[in-house]
Structure 1
Amino acid sequence: MRMSSSRAEGSRTPVYDHGGGVRSVQVPIPDNPLGHTLVYVVDTDAGPVLIDTGWDDPASWDTLVAGLAACGTSAAEVHGVVITHHHPDHHGLSGRVREASGAWIAMHAADSAVVRRTREARPEHWYSYMADKLTAAGAPEAHVAPLRTARGPLPGLSPALPDREIIPGELLDLPGRRLRAIWTPGHTPGHVCLHLEEQHPSQLPGHGRLFSGDHVLPEITPHIGLYEDPDDTTVTDPLGDYLASLERIAHLAPAEILPAHQHPFTDAPARVRQLLTHHESRLTGLSRLLTEPLTPWQLAERMDWNRPWAQIPYGSRNIAVSEAEAHLRRLVKLGRAEAVPGSGPVRYVAV
């Protein structure tokens, strides 16, 4: 269900009033089919607090500044920034907001660790790590070769270090508001949803409102990939984490979901059921593909994406292989697939 919101009068910037001291600004993502990130502006007794900030781009910054003005405030007045997860379309402008206002930036510790590694990594170390990971996943040498000769910095290597930690289950320090953090790993290790434990301004049935980041979106299934420390050999299960996190949101049953992309919607339990069904269907389909031994790369080539594999650009193929490996790990953990002993690069087959 698409929820109606009033647009700020006299503003050409897409700003919407969701009632109860909550507004959103559509901050554009350059050259991305998602189009924009919904940055939420939450009134508090200490000044406005932003939930996410948008992509670090001059046009995106200008839109955010104009949107804050349309909300009757400014970047200089921002009291704090709460980040749902570390991705650049959410965390990109946090540093500029802090420079303009002195605002604090809060993030879950697991994503703060990713930000810290990103800032500290030597580019050659990451190129080598990515080349080794893709080789182990069965990527052809033609795809890996550019990484072996790559030089110079990777894009997005200087995200702002947060100065506050979001503690799951605790209320955030927002004077006059009740905003509780819910840890929802999967899309990233430290993704959080934020539950506004206040009566819905339109008296919709349910329990408050939920800022869902990318965890639950009305029409999109978020990417589930791997965000691992190159020096840590722990085998994670991000898809399993994501599915368990979905169950928590269904149990919460908020009156309305305020996502970071697309539009607000209601009936979180129904959307969660759709997502759970989607992933079970996908796991079943992958099991059928694994009647023959396949590497993660070969599995990614055969999976259904939003376009044929031949049309998927270089960087997106790396993301696709990461998602294929996340699904393989879930199948292995469920006892529905296993690695073929002695295969190199490793191949998986259904059990």
Structure 2
Amino acid sequence: MDRFETIAEGVHAVRVPMPGGGLPYSLAYLIEDDDGRLHVIDPGSPTDDATRTLLDAVDVLGCTPRDIASIVTHLHADHAGGAAAVRAASGGALLMHAREAEAAATLARGVPAPDLDAWGVPADRRPELLAAVASPVAAGLPAPDAVLADGDLLDIPGRRVRVLWTPGHTPGHLCLHDEDAGLVFAGDHVLPTVNSGLGLGGPTAANPIADYLAGLGRVGELDGLALPGHEHPFTELAERTAALREHHLRRSREVAAHPDGTVWEIARDLTWTGGWDSLSGFTLLSALSQTAQHRDFVAP
């Protein structure tokens, strides 16, 4: 796919470059409405290159930044990092789920590090984990202009785009369902090949594994083309959500087989996509956090 691609009538995908050497790009989406305005889903990373790429796509459509009416996103920098710049250029309203706005504010203040001693983390691996905890994931994200709730219809004249609250990846992660066009904007909830990290929005009262599995059930019932936040659009959404559900249930079964181990000991024996030895820094912290979440999920 080139940097700009029309997905359906009035819906366009923009491949927004990501720094850091991991995934090369995120996917932003531009939706046209019947009033000639644009609506942005996930504007991308907080770099000049990312913002320029998105606004170049706006220009391709014969619009200007001032034609952007709204911006919907979740708190992670690779999706929301450009929100402040796009809002400043456009005056468009920044929208998030209420729980996401709360989580972003909490993360901006800083959250306590996990109890690495209770997790059984060796002393020589603790500095990299503490550094990963201290690295902000929502830095620079402004407070939203309005918050969204499950079941809301976005104010997009000529389209019925419904909000689906799908927590797990973050507390207020949203999917969006264009009911008439048969499009599911899946964000980081469902990606075509990558298994999204869970619990990456700070501490929550609910278990992110349970939340995520419930959201998979809802999204898996939808028909149409899935438009994810990374990789590429895909079909067979039911099959992919079923595979993700089994991936996490398999991990839960693996965790349940180690009832007396520490989080470190359990995680070390689990099956990781790139192998245990490949994990470091943030990816190691995420693996340990998800192991702890699975342990809580299967606890009697």
**TM-score under structure 1 normalisation?**
0.78
Distance 1:96 1:215, change over 3 A: same
Q: Which residue of 2 aligns with 1:80?
A: 70
Displacement of 1:145 after TM fit? 4.6
Q: Which residue of 2 aligns with 1:316?
A: 283
- Report whether the alignment pairs 1:184 with 2:166: yes
Q: Which residue of 1 aligns with 2:217?
A: 247
Q: Residue by residue, what CA displacement relative to the aligned partner does 1:81-136 show, whole Å, maximum 9, x if unpaired?
A: 011x21111111001001001110000011101111233x1x6xx4xx21x53333
Say which one has the larger Rg.
1
- The whole-number CA distance in structure 2 between the counterparts of 1:48 and 1:55 is 19
Q: Which residue of 2 aligns with 1:260?
A: 229
- The whole-number CA distance in structure 2 between the counterparts of 1:153 and 1:243 is 28
Distance 1:330 1:261, change over 3 A: same
Q: Which residue of 1 aligns with 2:3?
A: 14
Distance 1:106 1:146, change over 3 A: same
Q: Secondary structure at the match of 1:218?
A: coil
Q: Secondary structure at the match of 1:79?
A: strand
What amino acid is the match of 2:208?
P
Q: Residue by residue, what CA displacement relative to the aligned partner does 1:175-198 show, whole Å, maximum 9, x if unpaired?
A: 222111011111111111101011
Q: Which residue of 1 aligns with 2:61?
A: 71
Aligned pairs for 1:7-156 within 5 A: 14-44=3-33, 45=35, 47-83=37-73, 85-119=74-108, 121=109, 126=111, 129-130=112-113, 132-145=114-127, 154=136, 156=138
What amino acid is the match of 1:171?
L
Checking the alignment, whether the CA contact within 8 Å between 2:76 and 2:138 is kept in structure 1 is: no
Q: Secondary structure at the match of 1:258?
A: strand
Extract unaligned runs of 5+ from structure 1.
1-6, 8-12, 201-207, 336-351
Displacement of 1:41 after TM fit? 0.2
- Report whether the alignment pairs 1:294 with 2:261: yes
- Report whether the alignment pairs 1:210 with 2:192: no
What amino acid is the match of 2:277?
A
Displacement of 1:156 after TM fit? 4.7
Displacement of 1:321 after TM fit? 1.0
Displacement of 1:146 after TM fit? 6.7
Q: Secondary structure at the match of 1:40?
A: strand
- Paired residues in the alignment total 298
Displacement of 1:246 after TM fit? 0.9
Checking the alignment, whether the CA contact within 8 Å between 1:15 and 1:71 is kept in structure 2 is: no
Q: Secondary structure at the match of 2:78?
A: helix
Q: Residue by residue, what CA displacement relative to the aligned partner does 1:31-87 show, whole Å, maximum 9, x if unpaired?
A: 24322111000001251000111011122122222222223323332111011x211
What amino acid is the match of 1:321?
L
Checking the alignment, whether the CA contact within 8 Å between 1:24 and 1:41 is kept in structure 2 is: yes
Q: 2:141 aligns with which of 159, 169, 173?
A: 159
Checking the alignment, whether the CA contact within 8 Å between 2:187 and 2:229 is kept in structure 1 is: yes
**TM-score under structure 2 normalisation?**
0.91
What amino acid is the match of 1:139?
V
What amino acid is the match of 1:283?
S
Extract unaligned runs of 5+ from structure 2.
none
Distance 1:245 1:73, change over 3 A: same
Q: Which residue of 2 aligns with 1:329?
A: 296
- The whole-number CA distance in structure 1 between the counterparts of 2:224 and 2:130 is 50
